[in-house]
Chain A
Amino acid sequence: MRHLNKLRLATLAIIFAMLVLLPFLSIYQSYRAAYAYDLLAPAEQQFYDVMEWLSEPFTDDPAADLDMLKGTTWSANIFGLKLSDPLAVVGQMAAGGRVYAPFLLSALIPIILSVLLGRFFCGWICPATGLYELNSALSRWLRALGLRSPARHFDLRFKYGVLAVGLLLSMVTGSIFFALIYPPAIIGRELYYAIALGGFGAGAVFFVLTLLFDLLVARRGFCRYLCPGGALYSLLGRYRLLRIARKVEQCNDCTKCDVVCEFGLQPMRDGFGQECNNCTACMAVCPTDALAFRFAVTDLPAQGAGHLGRTHLRHGASPAEGED
């Protein structure tokens, strides 16, 4: 179980790599469709060759077949299956004041998965997560150099306010505001802009500002306190089936999980709640394997000090349960 975190990081890396690769493939496709190889500049021909080498094992007719894999995490077309972010659907419903059924259907799979797995998108798929975690790592390195960032804490419920305000603004102005401030949408879009259109848009600046906010104000502050998508996923996953739970018999109160949790939750005090995104970082650092998945719609109530911990051994251990 403790290797799940590595699997998660690999997933994030693959998704990010795909977001970089797809715009390049799109350019290659247009060259391909135009039979333009002989007209290209030498550098473009090199690019063409690389893309051909990359796509050759998978397709005979790149100009047509590569259409099967398009899009970003905001909205994608994967082998004919259209997938969209639930936030995009909610935003469109608010902005247009109506429901477009095919679009709603394209968000059905993410919605069902979120209801079952909770905020897993934030930990496992969101292309911004990897960058934010690198940002957290940067803040740790800076601390090692003596530059301590003020790790402020705010109310975790603030993001629900952002979600509500965003819905209200979308309704009033008739444009989908979430697309502007939602990091996964920004990342996918800006990578496309930068690669295929030749220049970042306004979203890139906003994303850099969120990185600075995380670095200088609150650790993972945007995801914790501001992200409207995180708010929506938290609400969807409130009664999720898959939860991380602490086995109190194996816990030794070392607080490593509390420290590593990017979302400021407290696994050691059984404080998971709807904010937990099942990222398994706490499971990976636990020295005694006291954290494990559990199928239930509610978290365990606070179980008190871990049985291997000093507090329990000194004060709480009754003869009956202390022997384990």
Chain B
Amino acid sequence: MQRRSLLQRVLALLVLAVGGSLPFGLSRFLAPARAADPTHLRPPGALSDARAFTAACIGCGLCAEVCPPRCIEFYTRSGGGEVNTPYIDPRLSACILCGKCMEACPTDALEVIPRQEIDMGVAKIDRDTCYPWLDRGVCGACVTVCPVGGKAINFEFANIYRPIVRAACVGCGLCVEICPHPALAIHVRPRTASV
């Protein structure tokens, strides 16, 4: 008798576990995992550890709602565990470093940090594409638009048009947004990445 009731209890727990995970499984099925896109940046102030960021972000969308240039987007139909987390695609619209999203975030996924400590990535210039680097004209759009200034990007010594990325770059991506080259001669990559 006792063994039977124990069996029943175990069975009920099993049904509960399987049944309880069904809605979660279904939602996961609707938003399948995707390969990470290196062109996507997290909003400023995001926790540097990707796993910690996913664990902290509740997907409320407040960061995007307060964003003046409306550059923050979300993984809506894919992303696996990262679904509904925010990203910025600087090719479409870049961060202006206003810091509103950091203040709006109810969790610590986006921390309020001073502007110079923001680390969304670092800009890399493709010298085989950039017009001035190929001596195909004059430009300087990226240097002009940079909100951080000469410490983040300026011109190579003795050449007033070839841009060089400096140490203070925070990776906001405004230079990517403004780059006139159809193939984009500048892009933002995580600081640790090789290219």
Instruction: Give the interface of A toward B (CB within 8 A).
Output: 22-23, 26-27, 29-30, 33-34, 63, 67, 70-72, 74-77, 82, 84, 88, 91-92, 95-97, 100, 102-103, 106, 158, 161-162, 164-166, 169, 173-177, 179-181, 185, 188-189, 192-193, 196-197, 199-203, 205-206, 209, 226
Q: Is the CB of A67 within 8 A of B23?
A: no
B65 at the interface (CB under 8 A from A): yes
| Segment from B37-45, B53-61, B146-154, B166-174 that makes contact with A | B53-61
**CB <8 Å contact, A92 and B23:** no
Partner of B61, one of A96, A189, A200, A205: A189
One of A22, A34, A165, A205 near B24 (C-beta < 8 A): A165
What mask results when residues 47 to 81 of chain B are scored 1 for a CB within 8 Å of chain A, else 0? 00001101111111110111111100110111001
Check A165–B17 contact: CB distance below 8 A: yes
B residues in contact with A203, CB < 8 Å = 27, 30, 84
0/1 per residue, B13-28, Cβ < 8 Å to A?
0001101110110111
Is A26's CB under 8 angstroms from B26's CB?
no
What separation, in Å, do the CA atoms of A209 and B27 have in the docked complex? Answer: 10
On whether the beta carbons of A67 and B62 are closer than 8 Å, the reply is: no
Question: Whole-angstrom distance between the alpha carbons of A162 and B26 in the complex?
Answer: 13
Do A202 and B27 form a contact, CB below 8 Å, given A77-B104, A174-B81? yes
Given contacts A29-B68, A95-B55, A206-B27, contact A71 B21 (CB under 8 A): no
- 1/0 contact trace for B182-194 toward A, CB 8 Å? 0000000000000
Would you call A165 and B21 a contact (CB within 8 A)?
Answer: yes
Residues from chain B with Cβ under 8 Å of A185 in the complex:
59-60
Q: Which residues of A contact B55 (CB under 8 A)?
A: 92, 95-97, 174-176
Instruction: Give CA–CA (A226, B16) in the complex, Å.
Output: 11
B106 near A: Cβ within 8 Å?
A: yes
Count chain A CB atoms within 10 A of each CB in B20, B66, B68, B108 and give the residue with the most. Answer: B20
Q: A103-B107, A197-B76 are in contact. Are A96 and B31 (CB under 8 A)?
A: no
Q: Is the CB of B27 within 8 A of A75?
A: no
Pairwise interchain contact A75-B16, C-beta atoms closer than 8 A? no
- Give the interface of B toward A (CB within 8 A): 16-17, 19-21, 23-24, 26-28, 30-31, 51-52, 54-62, 64-70, 73-74, 76-78, 81-84, 100, 104, 106-108
B20 touches A202 (CB 8 A): no
* Pairwise interchain contact A177-B61, C-beta atoms closer than 8 A: no
The complex places the Cα of A46 from the Cα of B52 at a distance, in Å, of 43
Residues of B within 8 A of A82 (CB): 106
B54: A residues at CB distance < 8 A = 95, 174-175
Q: Report the Cα distance A64→B106, complex, angstroms.
A: 19
- Interface pair A175/B81, CB less than 8 Å apart: yes
What residues of A have a CB within 8 angstroms of the CB of B66 in the complex?
Answer: 26, 67, 70
Q: Which A residues touch B83, using CB under 8 A? A: 180, 201-202
| Residue of B27, B30, B78 most packed against chain A (CB within 10 A) | B27
How far is A70 from B23 in the complex, measured between Cα atoms in Å?
29
Give chain B residues whose Cβ lies under 8 Å from the Cβ of A71: 60-62, 65
Among A23, A33, A165, A169, the residue within 8 A (CB) of B65 is A23
* A92-B55, A206-B23 known, 7 other contacts, Cβ within 8 Å: A70-B104, A74-B58, A166-B20, A174-B81, A180-B28, A181-B27, A192-B65
Q: Is the CB of B20 within 8 A of A161?
A: yes
Q: Point out the residues of chain B lying under 8 angstroms from A30, CB to CB.
A: 67-70
A77/B62 contact (C-beta < 8 A), A158-B16, A177-B27 known: yes
Nearest residue (CB) in A for B76 is A201
Expressed in whole angstroms, the Cα–Cα distance for A74 and B65 within the complex equals: 14
- The answer to whether A75 touches B60, judged by C-beta atoms less than 8 angstroms apart, is yes
CA distance A27 to B67 in the complex (A): 10
Q: Are A72 and B61 neighbours in the complex by a CB distance under 8 Å?
A: yes
Contacts of B107 in A (CB 8 A): 92, 100, 103
One of A23, A34, A106, A165 near B68 (C-beta < 8 A): A34
- Residues of chain B within 8 A (CB-CB) of A205 are 30
Q: When the two chains form their complex, are residues A75 and B58 in contact, meaning their CB atoms are under 8 A apart?
A: yes
Chain B residues whose C-beta falls within 8 Å of the C-beta of A206 in the assembled complex? 23, 26-27, 30
Residue in B21, B30, B76, B100 whose beta carbon sits within 8 Å of that of A193 in the complex = B76
Contact A192 B64 (CB under 8 A): yes
Contact call B23/A162, Cβ cutoff below 8 A: yes
Asked if B106 and A176 sit within 8 Å, CB to CB, the answer is no
Contacts of B28 in A (CB 8 A): 180
Q: Please state if A70 and B62 are interface contacts (CB–CB under 8 Å).
A: yes
Given the known inter-chain contacts A174-B55, A188-B61, A197-B74, please indicate yes or no for A181 contacting B104, CB distance below 8 A. no
Could you list 11 examples of A-B contacts with CB < 8 Å? A67-B100, A70-B62, A95-B54, A96-B55, A103-B106, A158-B16, A179-B59, A189-B60, A193-B76, A197-B74, A202-B27
